[in-house]
């Protein structure tokens, strides 16, 4: 996708237009991962039950997925439910699962029309059968899409993923001396995908909450105070602009110094 594609979608004169014009399309993050947080606080501010925050968060998911796809992000990974989230009241968990199901049903056509491929990362096998069925249907229906890959992290835990990868590595027949970082990564849920360049967390919390522990080794972290249900296209564009001002070093030294050292 491109600047024009994105601009065509934004009403002329809208303030987001100027943000789009500032973006360097040759330096987009390839993979953006998001910790969607703050639904409960959003609801509490309005004296509403927590689940109303989750319900409102669906609009943010819709907006972010479409913005990312139109922007030309290749992989978008949204953290929807962690393995630790089972600690929440059963009624909240139940609502989250029902919202997910409804989202998949109502958005499938939009995903397809945007050429988006849907995937799940996490221990999907432990989810309720009706949820698994819905997820499998969405994965199947979008499997030939060639545009953005949209991963949803569900019943996901970063440590569990590493344990699962270690188990797979052990049973794969790979010899210990042949196991290196690249090989190990091929046993993760995200096998074959690039690591996130940009990790966004909403609602101001400065922690990673067991998310993509292996993959975020060198991700640029962007934390915004915006609560997830308030997160829209503008916020994603702002995060990308902030990312484009960062200098990624990967343990090396800054680029001008590299030139100076020659
Ligand atoms: C994020 O919002 C959604 C999930 C974790 C499923 P929270 O429900 O964690 O909202 P806060 O952090 O309590 O505000
Ligand atoms: C992280 O948010 C999990 C998801 C966004 C799905 P939490 O709200 O569960 O994280 P903590 O408990 O604040 O670390
Ligand atoms: Mg939270």
**pLDDT score recorded for residue 34:** 99
CA of 196 to the centre of ligand 1 (A): 22
Output the six-digit token pair for 249: 């070093």
- DSSP structural state of residue 27: G
CATH of the domain at 205: 3.40.1180.10
Number of domains forming the structure of the chain: 1
User: pTM for this one?
Assistant: 0.96
**pLDDT score recorded for residue 93:** 98
Tell me the residue range of the domain where 198 lies: 3-244+253-261
Q: Where are the alpha helices (DSSP H) in the chain?
A: 3-9, 16-22, 39-45, 50-71, 90-113, 129-141, 158-172, 181-185, 233-244, 255-261
22 CB near ligand 2 (under 6 Å)? no
Ligand 1 pocket test, pick from 34, 35, 38, 48 with the greatest ligand atom count within 8 Å of Cβ, gives 38
**pLDDT score recorded for residue 5:** 83
Q: Where are the alpha helices (DSSP H) in 46-157?
A: 50-71, 90-113, 129-141
**pLDDT score recorded for residue 128:** 97
CA of 135 to the centre of ligand 3 (A): 23
What averages of pLDDT result for each successive group of 10 residues across the chain (262 residues)? 85 95 97 98 98 98 97 98 98 97 96 97 97 97 98 98 98 96 98 98 98 98 98 98 97 72 44
Ligand 2 pocket test, pick from 33, 209, 227, 231 with the greatest ligand atom count within 8 Å of Cβ, gives 209
């Amino acid at each position: 996708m491109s600047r024009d594609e994105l601009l065509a979608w934004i009403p002329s004169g809208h303030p987001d237009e100027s943000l789009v014009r500032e973006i360097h399309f040759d330096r987009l993050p390839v993979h953006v991962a998001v910790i969607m947080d703050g639904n409960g606080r959003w609801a509490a501010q309005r004296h509403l039950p927590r689940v109303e925050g989750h319900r409102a968060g669906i609009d943010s998911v819709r907006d972010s997925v479409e913005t990312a796809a139109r922007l030309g992000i290749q992989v978008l990974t949204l953290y929807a439910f962690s393995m630790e989230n089972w600690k929440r009241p059963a009624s909240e968990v139940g609502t989250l699962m029902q919202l997910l199901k409804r989202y998949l049903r109502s958005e499938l056509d939009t995903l397809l029309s945007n050429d988006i491929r849907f995937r799940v990362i996490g221990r999907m096998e432990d989810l309720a059968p009706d949820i698994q069925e819905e997820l499998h249907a969405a994965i199947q229906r979008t499997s030939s899409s060639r545009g953005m890959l949209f991963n949803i992290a569900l019943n996901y835990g970063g440590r569990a993923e590493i344990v699962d990868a270690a188990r797979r590595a052990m049973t794969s027949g790979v010899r210990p001396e042949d196991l290196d970082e690249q090989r190990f990564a091929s046993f993760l849920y995200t096998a074959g995908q690039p690591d996130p360049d940009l990790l966004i967390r909403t609602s101001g919390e400065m922690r990673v909450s067991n998310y993509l522990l292996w993959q975020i080794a060198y991700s640029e972290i962007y934390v915004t105070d915006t609560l997830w249900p308030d997160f829209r296209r503008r916020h994603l564009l702002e995060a990308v602009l902030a990312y484009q001002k960062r200098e990624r070093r990967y343990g090396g030294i800054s680029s001008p110094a590299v030139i100076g050292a020659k």
